[in-house]
A and B are shown apart, each in its own frame.
Chain A
Amino acid sequence: MKKSAVYWLLLPGFVFLAAFMVIPIVLTIGSTFVQENAFTLDGYLHFFKDPYFLKILLTTLQVSVVTTLVCVVLGFPTAYYISRKAPRRKGILLALAIFPLLTSPVVRSFSWMIILGRKGLINNALVGLGLIDQPLDILYTPAAMMIGLTHLFLPLMIISLVGVLENIDQDLLKAAQSLGASRFTAFRRVVFPLAVPGLVIGAVLVFVGSLTAYTTPALLGGKQRVIATFLYQNAMTLNDWYLASVIAAIMIAITFIVVGVMNRMAKTLNPKG
């Protein structure tokens, strides 16, 4: 086959993505630097000076960091448990972890509205048991967003970790223990380092996913905005497309920085080099 023929195979998809994705995004980012036909950074300066915008950004980052940490803490032991099971059992457990991942995020966020609402499952139980007099405000707070996002992204963390953990040779652990390492030391020095690449991939997926999630914060966050819902509000409700474009550019920048840094971390931390 002639060398140039390869490019013909890629051309239709390339043109499609260039016309409908790359150009619109590049132009959107470009438009944030131009006001009244002159180069400007005003959009960004204004954004980073406005305490209301900064608070939204900070809330988003806090929610994402906490969600990622909780997913690591809940996901690692669970993934380790799944990876130790015989193939048939492992398949069933994996399917149970993947099922919520493939279920509509609207359905999953809605289920938490039933659980966390003022007349929801948790409040009814607590009031019924006489532990509290007034129902707690859980729904429409950052805490509700964190719970919803953890529920949304935990499966991603689990399957990323199972992917690396199931490849770790059990004999390595036995060897470490027969050479006198305790179970904990063997885990810390053998299993954990080998799991780091999966951990980093999982953390990136969860962190970036939480940072840019729309549906869950829209349903569970109430008036509490995060950057994704703030972008939507400016684009569709307030019709401030300039500010929406600035937010879009900031979201892309944060995503690329996080993915870039985590990729580098994964390379340096990978024991296989």
Chain B
Amino acid sequence: MREKHFGLGLFSLLVFIFLLGPLLIISVTSFEPGTVLKFPPEGFSLRWYENIFKTGGFIRTFQISIIVSLLGNLLALILGIPAAYALSRYDFKGKSLLNAIFLSPVLIPGIVLGFTLMKYLIVVYQLPMYLGLLIGHTIIMLPFIIRVIASSLSSFDFAVEEAALSLGAGRVRTFFQVVLPNIRSGILAAVLIAFLESFNNVDISVFMTGPGVSTLPIQMLTYVENYFDPTIAAISVLLMVLTGLLMFFIERIMGGLTYFTKR
């Protein structure tokens, strides 16, 4: 059997080189000592890593990105957990429609959502830019929060909840002391997946920049349009390390990366 798979294996290897090669190349070029991005680099230097901290507002926008992603995540959890619970626990009139509405932010093209948010939240509703950015990020995180938590609830045995209720625990107490602890890992995974989705977002944030307000991806985009030095490569390496760490946690929490193949 083995030799018959040789062609397939070679093909897959080439596909993986295509997928990962560019990320490897960007990592190597981040150590370039000169001012122009080259592959292969002409030496080894960490000056562009130092440059991240010195120029371009990368640190400030990184902080904004983190705050927006974390606050938006919290907001999406507050809105999403009750919704996920209702949608996976009960049957009721209009369920499929409500389900469709809650998952619809993934279906609306991001750039369209960004434009309409800018047009209405900032211009019509007159909300401050920070708030618009936060609301936009909450909207795009909601479907991920709801989907991951609902799938975690679908494997929860609701007989346990019934038992707690019949023993006299109130509805609210049962939810917080019985249901929630049981889907803890699902919630954590939802938070991490939604965080990456928000942290990497360009389509919404690109419409929500103003004086003093911008996210890291937008700052990088603006920088690339003006400079072609290895600073962005250095930031890319740091971001990939962050992604790798978060993926490791998602894998540990969920006992595999099956969420991604069963969407």
Contact = CB atoms under 8 A, between A and B. Distances in A.
**Could you say which interface size class chain A belongs to?**
35 or more
Interface of B: 4-5, 8-9, 11-12, 15-16, 18-20, 22-23, 25-26, 29, 36-39, 78-80, 82-83, 85-87, 90, 92, 98, 101-102, 104-105, 107-113, 115-121, 135-136, 138-139, 142, 171, 196, 199-200, 202-203, 206-207, 217, 220-221, 224, 228, 232-233, 235-236, 239-240, 243-244, 246-247, 251, 256-257, 260-263
B79 A114 contact: no
B25 A77 contact: no
A102 B246 contact: yes
B25 A114 contact: yes
A111 B25 contact: yes
Given A107-B26, A215-B221, A81 B9 contact: yes
Interface string A15-27: 0110011111101
Given A114-B39, A212-B109, A212-B111, A74 B15 contact: yes
Contact of B119 (A24, A93, A112): A24
Interface in A13-61: 13-14, 16-17, 20-25, 27-28
Given A14-B101, A215-B202, A232-B111, A163 B261 contact: yes
Contacts of B82: 9-10, 12-13
A121 interface: yes
A10 B29 CA distance: 49
A183 B5 CA distance: 12
Contact of B22 (A28, A108, A236): A108
A203 interface: no
Interface stretch (A130-138, A188-196, A251-259, A264-272): A251-259
6 closest cross-chain pairs (CB), A and B? A212-B109, A111-B22, A24-B120, A163-B261, A9-B86, A13-B79
A121 B39 contact: yes
Nearest to A22: B101
Interface of A: 1, 3, 6-7, 9-10, 12-14, 16-17, 20-25, 27-28, 74-75, 77-78, 80-82, 84, 91, 93-108, 110-115, 119-121, 124, 151, 154-155, 159-160, 162-163, 166, 183, 201, 208, 211-212, 214-215, 218-219, 228, 231-232, 235-236, 241, 244-245, 248, 251-252, 255-256, 259
A162 B261 CA distance: 7
A73 B87 CA distance: 37
A113 B83 CA distance: 42
A179 B126 CA distance: 70
Contacts of A256: 107
Contacts of B83: 9-10, 12-14
Given A111-B22, A111-B236, A236-B207, A12 B79 contact: yes
A110 B25 CA distance: 11
A254 to B, nearest CB: 9
B247 A99 contact: yes
A114 B15 contact: no
Nearest to B94: A7
A28 to B, nearest CB: 5
Given A13-B102, A13-B142, A78-B15, A96 B20 contact: yes
Given A9-B83, A17-B101, A214-B111, A110 B224 contact: yes
A95 B244 CA distance: 10
11 contacts: A7-B86, A17-B101, A21-B139, A74-B18, A106-B224, A107-B239, A111-B22, A111-B26, A201-B263, A228-B203, A255-B107
Given A9-B83, A10-B86, A102-B247, A112 B22 contact: yes
B90 A6 contact: yes
Contacts of B243: 99, 102-104
Contacts of B92: 3, 6-7
A211 B107 CA distance: 12
Contacts of A208: 109
Interface centre among B12, B82, B207, B217 (most CB of A within 10 A): B12
